[in-house]
Amino acid sequence: MNEQQNHKGFVSKIGLVLATAGAAVGLGNIWRFPTTTGQNGGAAFILVYVLFTLVLCVPGMVAEFIVGRNGACAAKQAYAKAGGKKAWGLLGIIGMIACSVILGFYNVIAGWTLYYLGMAVGDQVLGDPEHVAEGFGAMMSSMWIPSVMGILFMLLTHGIIVRGVQNGIEKASKIMMPLFFVLLIVLIFAGFTLPGAWKGVEFLFKPDFSKVTADVMFEALGQAFFSLSLGAACLCTYASYFRKDVNLISSTAQIVGIDMSVAILAGLMVFPAVFAVGVEPNAGPGLVFMTLPNVFYQAFPYGVAYVVSVLFYALLALAALTSTISLHEIGTAVIAEEFKMDRKYSAWIITVLCSIITVLSALSLGPVEMGFFGMTLFDNFDSFASNMLLPLGAFCTCILVGWVMKRETVVEQLTSGGLFPRSGLFINTFFFLVRFVCPIFIVAIFMYKMGVL
């Protein structure tokens, strides 16, 4: 059996786009996007985020897909193959580190989701704003709850990972994604009925450009990469399962389109409630959890509110799960191949290491003061992985595809072996973006942030 056959492809084309979109859509859209938007002043931040997504992330994503499908193997070897030198495999390792750190702190929020699901089932979530705030505070200050829930979520992911790729990921995302989308729309309309909701819409869409500082750009860059799972060898791993007749360009467009819409919809769902209930938009990681229960409670009759709250947290937990699966898979695959180890064991290594990060992050948000540079340890992990490692990974991937890989190989992937012909202008534009625009922009934003520029 050759490598290609061994590395089985996704069964259907639509399954592939949905599974990759499932990995991209997650807490990054529903939780992190509103949180960072709130902390960075609203509309102007969103514009910068959209701009970065379109100009930097779209070509970046195509580049990562090219490396992955061309390799048709685990990330480290795929990068080494694309670059023609073993050293390029280092990018797979950096990606694995980024994914594992992200998985570590991501699990804290995923754990909150699970906790809220339990509370929603037990009818403990609904109530007036005071009740909601108290409930959140009680969870956060507990020594045990966030850590235990985070580890529980990690074990859930672990269980799915050891059962293999297709079954778990593909089935779950096919059913879940469309349903979640519908629920988001319902909740947006519900939120609009709250008094004072309109201020939230203004916050999202009326930009104040004086707010675009170096920090805002840096955060928008991190958010754009985080939300698309870009720059951490994750998409490369997914693309290694893509069949030869998958159109990389239209798949990218679909995934970016879905991911960005879900993020903006999440903003529309959260901010009207933020202003209606009087929570500060820059409240931090708790923002979504402190506001949404108010929408459920105030906009629907009680019975409906109960059903909606259970459904919402269940779907959010599932959305988080498709993302944690993708984050876990990278490390599990790299360690298994690197040390010729059974996946059962390599999965445990990731699970244990990431759980340590989960516990430290969880404690730093509540009962134990920990962290550097005036931030919590949770934010330290987030900032290091999302704002630094992801752009670094994407930068190197663009250099690799733009300058190092053979042009024919890149063109072959761009056109899926000639199946989807592209004009010379299209191909040259792609090369211009990955050779110059993406790398220069990324470096410039880093220099701007450091005060060099």
> What is the closest distance, in whole angstroms, from the C-beta atom of residue 391 to ligand TRP in the complex?
11
How many residues sit in the footprint of ligand TRP (CB under 6 A)? 16
SS3 33: helix
Rounded Cα–Cα distance for residues 218 and 55 (Å): 15
Residue nearest to ligand TRP (CB): 28
Look-up of token digits 């298994």:
336
Nearer to ligand TRP, 40 or 107 (CB): 107
Residue 27 near ligand TRP by CB under 6 A: yes
* Residue from 18, 19, 21, 23 binding ligand TRP (CB under 6 A): 23
Torsion of CA 297, 300, 301, 303, to 10 degrees: -80
> What is the closest distance, in whole angstroms, from the C-beta atom of residue 34 to ligand TRP in the complex?
12
Longest dimension (CA), the chain: 64
Name the token pair of 162.
């050891």
Residue 405 near ligand TRP by CB under 6 A: no
Residue 28 near ligand TRP by CB under 6 A: yes
Residue 135 near ligand TRP by CB under 6 A: no
Look-up of token digits 């909701």:
197
Residue 99 near ligand TRP by CB under 6 A: yes
> What is the closest distance, in whole angstroms, from the C-beta atom of residue 7 to ligand TRP in the complex?
20
Nearer to ligand TRP, 26 or 286 (CB): 26
Rounded Cα–Cα distance for residues 367 and 337 (Å): 39
Rounded Cα–Cα distance for residues 128 and 278 (Å): 12
CB neighbour class for 120 (10 Å; exposed up to 12, middle 13-18, buried from 19): buried
> What is the closest distance, in whole angstroms, from the C-beta atom of residue 95 to ligand TRP in the complex?
8
CB 228 within 8 A of CB 389: no
Return the range that interacts with ligand TRP (CB under 6 A); candidates 1-9, 160-168, 210-218, 319-327.
Answer: 319-327
Name the token pair of 122.
């037990």
Rounded Cα–Cα distance for residues 428 and 430 (Å): 5
Rounded Cα–Cα distance for residues 420 and 435 (Å): 23
> What is the closest distance, in whole angstroms, from the C-beta atom of residue 300 to ligand TRP in the complex?
27
Rounded Cα–Cα distance for residues 249 and 65 (Å): 9
Name the token pair of 164.
């293999």
Alpha helices in 193-213 (DSSP H): 198-205
Question: For helices 214-228 and 438-450, what crossing angle results, to 10°?
Answer: 140
Nearer to ligand TRP, 115 or 192 (CB): 115
Nearer to ligand TRP, 115 or 226 (CB): 226
Residue 53 near ligand TRP by CB under 6 A: no
> What is the closest distance, in whole angstroms, from the C-beta atom of residue 288 to ligand TRP in the complex?
13
Q: What's the Cα-to-Cα distance from 199 to each of 40, 41, 125, rounded to whole Å?
A: 16, 13, 25
* Residue from 102, 256, 288, 292 binding ligand TRP (CB under 6 A): 102
* Residue from 18, 19, 21, 26 binding ligand TRP (CB under 6 A): 26
Residue 157 near ligand TRP by CB under 6 A: no
Please report, as residue ranges, which positions from 324 to 343 form the binding site for ligand TRP (by CB under 6 A): 326-327
Nearer to ligand TRP, 26 or 41 (CB): 26
Residue 376 near ligand TRP by CB under 6 A: no
Name the token pair of 432.
């211009």
Rounded CA Rg of the chain: 21
Please report, as residue ranges, which positions from 213 to 252 form the binding site for ligand TRP (by CB under 6 A): 226-227, 229, 232, 234
Rounded Cα–Cα distance for residues 130 and 395 (Å): 46
Measured in degrees and rounded to the nearest 5, phi and psi for residue 247 equal -85, 110
Residue 56 near ligand TRP by CB under 6 A: no
Residue 24 near ligand TRP by CB under 6 A: yes
Please report, as residue ranges, which positions from 188 to 207 form the binding site for ligand TRP (by CB under 6 A): none
Residue 29 near ligand TRP by CB under 6 A: yes
> What is the closest distance, in whole angstroms, from the C-beta atom of residue 362 to ligand TRP in the complex?
18
> What is the closest distance, in whole angstroms, from the C-beta atom of residue 325 to ligand TRP in the complex?
9
Return the range that interacts with ligand TRP (CB under 6 A); candidates 125-133, 158-166, 200-208, 322-330.
Answer: 322-330
Alpha helices in 72-164 (DSSP H): 75-83, 90-121, 129-141, 145-161
Nearer to ligand TRP, 99 or 133 (CB): 99
Name the token pair of 365.
């948000």
* Residue from 298, 323, 358, 397 binding ligand TRP (CB under 6 A): 323
* Number of Cβ within a 10 Å radius of residue 396: 21
CB 78 within 8 A of CB 71: yes
> What is the closest distance, in whole angstroms, from the C-beta atom of residue 326 to ligand TRP in the complex?
4
Residues in contact with ligand TRP by CB under 6 A are 23-24, 26-29, 99, 102, 226-227, 229, 232, 234, 323, 326-327
